[in-house]
Amino acid sequence: MQMLDVMTVDKMELRGFSRTVAELEWLLLILVLFYFVVPGTTIYDEWGYILSMMVFAGFVISFRYSKLFTAETRWKLAIETWAMIIFITWIVYNTGGINSPLLNMYLLVIVTSALTLGKVTTLLEFILITAVYFYLGHAVYVENTFSLINFCELMILFAPFLLTGYLTSMLAADVQNGREILELMSETDEMTGLRNRRSFKKAITAELKKAIRYSRSFSIMMIDADNLKAINDQFGHGTGDKLIKSVAESIRESLRDSDILARFGGDEFIVMLPETDAGHAQEAGERIRKSVENTSFSVDGNRISSTVSIGIASYPQDSTAIEDLLGKADEALYQSKGLGKNVVSSYTEETVSTELPS
């Protein structure tokens, strides 16, 4: 099954948020309509009330269901929350101002913003709602001397808004952190802590785009431990696992910070060398080969060591397509195996040029 990349997950998340916002907008309209048809409610301007519902419904339909705004983005969700604030403010103004029973509809905006837009935007919208409240109640507050009682009343009124926004944004942040942890786990090899195949494919795809854009070269290095099966057969899989970790560490210590190392499966590793041509990749391969060859560890008094065979292919000399480049690096690797192992081979179109260990 094909794995989802980060961009795909983000798009799916935005589509989910978008559907939720759409449902909240229609819920808001239903609540406002319900208040209109309930007998005995206070509405100062009925025609203005009806017109505002029609305008908001038109906004939702055009903004959400027309083909003008097909891409789901954070700014689109932000515009919708600001539109909800404007609509609610007009409704509250028409139904009693600061004494309106519909004042709590602002909570819908706070929750929506906290879930989708983050703490900063939620705080800005909370400040706007507070300013709107004081504007709607300016006649009351101008006449009354501000006192501790007034302050406590305001705190009681706005505490649910502030707490709801804070707790919801914290929950959204926790969900995001959990997603990032799961994403990291899904892209990390459990045994070695290196990138896995999925993560490497993402990295090489990004590197290919940069290489095309800036006319750069890069090289791929396939690395295979030469004696893992023999170690497993003689000393057990626990020792084999230690050997894989030892080889991984030797390779890592031989690379630059900008190089990308991943475990490709079993005893096979893969390295991407950004801005590196075939000649410099061959030199890097030799460093790795010698480092692994000179590394060993002890198990029950036995000295365990390994060598590696390495195959190299370079962009754009050998190929301009990722899968083809990986395939040619693999061909060069098998050429190294055929030459007796512990060898670094670079792919060429006609033949495989090989540097034997000195």
Mean pLDDT by runs of 10 across the 358 residues of the chain is 47 72 86 88 88 90 71 79 90 86 85 80 83 74 58 66 70 69 75 88 90 92 91 89 92 93 90 93 94 90 90 92 92 91 83 50
Nearest 5°: CA angle at 157, between 155 and 40? 160
pLDDT of res. 76: 82
- Tell whether 174 and 217 lie within a shared domain: no
The values of phi and psi at residue 255, to 5°, are -105, 165
User: Residue 13 is part of which domain span?
Assistant: 6-185
Token duo for residue 333 = 């690797």
Cα separation values, 251 from 202, 281, 285, 312, Å: 21, 13, 9, 15
pLDDT at residue 71 in the model: 65
Residue 208: predicted pLDDT: 92
Are residues 113 and 159 part of one domain? Answer: yes
The answer to whether the beta carbons of residues 73 and 14 sit under 8 Å apart is yes
Strands (E) in 158-275, as ranges, are: 218-225, 260-265, 268-274
CB under 8 Å to 170, separation ≥6 — which residues? none
CA 258 distance to own-chain centroid: 21
- The rounded distance, in Å, linking the Cα atoms of 199 and 260 is 10
Query: Among all chains, which residue has been given the structure tokens 């300013």?
Result: 131
Q: Is residue 224 part of a domain?
A: yes
> What pLDDT does residue 4 have?
42
For residues 134 and 253, membership in a common domain is answered with no
Distance CA 348, CA 328 (A): 9
Q: Which of 157, 185, 213 is the last residue of a domain?
A: 185
Domain count, the chain: 2
- Whether residue 1 lies inside any domain: the answer is no
- Please check whether residues 78 and 134 belong to one and the same domain: yes
Q: What's the CA gap between 312 and 328, in Å, rounded? A: 8
Do the domain assignments include residue 298?
A: yes
Residues 24 and 146 both lie in one domain: yes
Residue with tokens 């950004």: 274
For residue 2, what pLDDT is reported? 35
Question: Same domain, yes or no, for 203 and 180?
Answer: no
Give the C-alpha distances (Å, rounded to integers) separating 109 from 76, 79, 300: 14, 11, 66
Among all chains, which residue has been given the structure tokens 């099954």?
1
How is residue 264 written in tokens?
Answer: 């490709």
